[in-house]
Structure 1
Amino acid sequence: MPRLDVPRLRLPSGPRADMALAGVVLVLAGVAEGQRLGPNWDAPALVIGSWSLAVAVCVALPLRRRHPVAVGWFTVVGAGVYYLMSTVDGPLVVIPIAALYALAAQGRIQASVAMAAVMVIGVGGGALAGTGDVNGTAVFMLTGWLVAVVALGAMRHGRVAYAEEEARLRATRERLRIARELHDVIGHNMSMIHVQASSALHRLQKDPGLAQEALTAIKQGSKEGLRELRATLGVLRQVDEEAPTTPSPGLSRIDELVSSAARAGLDVRIERSGARSPLPTAVDLAAYRIVQESLTNAVKHSGARHVVVRLHHGDRELTLSVQDNGRHSAHAGPGDGSGIAGMTERAHALGGALSAEPGSTGGFVVRARLPFSDHHEPIGGAVDDQDPAGG
């Protein structure tokens, strides 16, 4: 059977909701005030005054978004005076209650509580004065309604504030993640290019052949860096741009890091142990970036010539260490651009830990523990596949 497309009923929101509520209350108040007219539709001055006051209170409600506190006090006082002038129990009390809720929902709890207290005191004073229309039960019920309205408004404010804070935290985490990716990609490749460029300048006159090799390494390193940079910037792409097709780097591309470090004069040895099972994407990427940053620091800061990278694949975690034979005192601190803080954040984000300290036999050692669950979704070819575009 064909489905009938029934349009959904949409309630008004924003200023239109205020105007709709004010209009409904004003009509109902007019009907109530009509009961006070004489048989010839004569309008006494008191009826005209109370009707005019009801109009003013209803008209003020849509202005609460610009002047919330002033409108709130006006509706409270105006409604109070209206009930003193009128002999009918009209629905005008809905207007100050709506204003109270709006104030509490905006976080103006003190102002809303003060207005609610004034309303309760006013109604209670009327009961004590023996007006006849107001008794203790009415005061008790009004107090409960006002407490509920203020509490609901405060809950609304808390939910909105929590959602906004969550959005800010997500945005902050995303910015930090992108910053780490850019730092690791650009920092590593630019460091290697800097070393090779210095070597080429030094050898250009004495040994043009070696200078040409250094320039070739610069070309290859810049190509790799540009490829990874494009993939990283893909998370910031516009809707109409193509998604990056290059897979996230992982330990399957660790040979590229070794080759890049070798072109910078660094001898890197990889030692593996444990069952080389596929790793979760996040763990694989974090391990790759930690090794990459450690090699970058060894080239930039320690003057090392030999580096040993140890990888141990456990059942529920990957442990790795990167140890060089350089001068550990030359390593920059986290605030000096070494990227140790970024590596630590990557490990902590996975529930692991990372340490970076001088080795017991000299040099500098970075150790990381990256845990993962037994039930994870491995990336395709995280161990064996090689990126055909790499080199």
Structure 2
Amino acid sequence: MESATRRPGGQVMGDLRRLFVGADYPPGAPTSRRWPRIRLLMSPVLLLALIGLTSAAYEYLSDNRNLGGGWSILLAVAGTAPAALMARRPLAAWRIGFAALLFGTTGYVPTESWPWNPVQILALLAVLWFVALRADAGVSVWCWLFSLLPVWVYVPNAGNAWGVTVLLAAIMLVGDQVRRRRRSQRALAEQAERSELEQARRAVLQERTRIAREMHDVVAHSMSMIAVRAETAPYRVAELTGPAREEFTEIAASARTALDDMRRLLSVLRQADDPALTAPQPGLAELGTLVDDARAAGVDVHLAMELPMRPVGEAAALTAYRIVQEALANAARYAPGARVDVSLAADEPGLRVRVRNGRPTGRPARPPGAGHGLVGMRERVAILDGELSTEATGDGGFAVTALLPDGGVH
């Protein structure tokens, strides 16, 4: 309880220490990629502006105060130097400006409207704005109070002092509100980015679960064939010896055990609301039906297949079907009215699948990148150690190419 009661006072003093000797507030990340180039181009202009302001302050001091040339130059530089630092080091700029306020009244004569030269006043107002944009609220309050101290000490007219007080308060309040708004926008942007990343991770996990369920059917079919062939071998091959019969029996038992283990694993991956898969997994034979359905939905699809005489592995065939299915769905969403060419060919490494759509002639139903179809394609191809490439074409279309090693289960 004692530490809790001391915390507000400690925070107040901590803000005061930071104002004078604490770490500065570095500039935030640029809001645009063009900003570094713009700043590089503007640097010579800003340098000339600072030189011009310093020269104007020197002329004002030389004309209105009985000072030596060296002292006039020092006060002119001290009054404009904060403007050179305020964008990157606002606290350091204010410290220099505050010192210039204390000593900038040297040589002041009553004929002048203010104890400080106009350039120094404008530079300090700009510095206070940057402090309000970067500093915490407590630091800004201390900055406002100490900036008013020389005003109430040196300004002879109380009305002018009150006017400056209101002006500085308005600058600090508006700057603080802008800072809070920017911080809220950054927090919302970070939250949205985290939400998108979480959705992407969830999509990957869901797609992997779906792939695992489908691959279970492919592997289970092959394991069942192994078990059946091992169990029936003694009846199909009459010359088997006793040890060979026992070996086939053990192979069949191991296959059945593996099937049971796979079913248990699938039950862990299955969600409560997942429907049971009763139909066999699709393959290359079902591509014609898939293309016909897409044509019936209004997609201009053209299918070309150059397959080998030997059967294609079930895993590769299933993956090829899903890639074509997702690519056609993406073309219907993001490239309405475009021609879609689907080609499958047997290359030396395996099965090559390519789906290419032309430039859309209608307005997309959803903006590109709104779904996770490409994520699913990459996950499926990665399981087979294949290759997937996606790219925009020169005519405004999009192409998906997959190379699937035909080492799957037949």
Please report the TM-score for the alignment, with normalisation by the length of structure 1.
0.44
Please report the TM-score for the alignment, with normalisation by the length of structure 2.
0.42
Larger radius of gyration: 2
